[in-house]
């Protein structure tokens, strides 16, 4: 079920602080984060993130289309394995 609208988006407070700092200066260094559960807000657009997938940090560049999704959606935590295919 979807989150109640009256609560607004969920963002980890620690991540929000980091985003605000990054917006303040022109540093393009990716923001390392473990907070896969945080929703991407319009503030995030144009920033680089490094989202933890349980093992490593996956680089994610946030575009306008990604607003409303969670950071974790862009950092796969499972490897795709398939049988067969071309040799």
Partner 1 sequence: MPRILGVDIPNNKKLAYSLRYIFGIGPKRADIILEQTGLDPDMRAKELDEEQINVIMSKISELNYLVEGDLRRDYAANMKRLQAINCYRGLRHRRGLPVRGQRTKTNARTRKGKTASVGGLRK
Interface positions with partner 1 (CB under 8 A): 63, 65-66, 69, 72-74, 76, 80, 83-84
* Least Å from the CB of residue 6 to partner 1: 25
* Least Å from the CB of residue 23 to partner 1: 21
- Quick one: 32 or 76, whose CB is closer to partner 1? 76
- Number of Cβ atoms within 10 Å of the Cβ of 76: 12
- Quick one: 43 or 53, whose CB is closer to partner 1? 53
Separation between Cα atoms, residue 2 and residue 10, nearest integer Å: 12
What are the residues whose beta carbons fall under 8 Å from the beta carbon of 33, sequence distance 6 or more? 12, 15, 18, 49, 50, 51, 52, 71
């Amino acid at each position: 079920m979807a989150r109640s609208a009256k609560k607004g988006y969920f963002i980890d407070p620690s991540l929000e602080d980091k985003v605000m700092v990054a917006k303040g200066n022109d540093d393009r260094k990716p923001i390392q984060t473990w907070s896969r559960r945080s929703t991407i807000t319009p503030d995030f657009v144009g920033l680089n993130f490094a989202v933890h997938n349980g093992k490593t940090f996956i680089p994610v560049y946030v575009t306008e289309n990604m607003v409303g999704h969670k950071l974790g959606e862009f950092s796969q935590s499972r490897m795709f394995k398939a049988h067969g295919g071309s040799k």
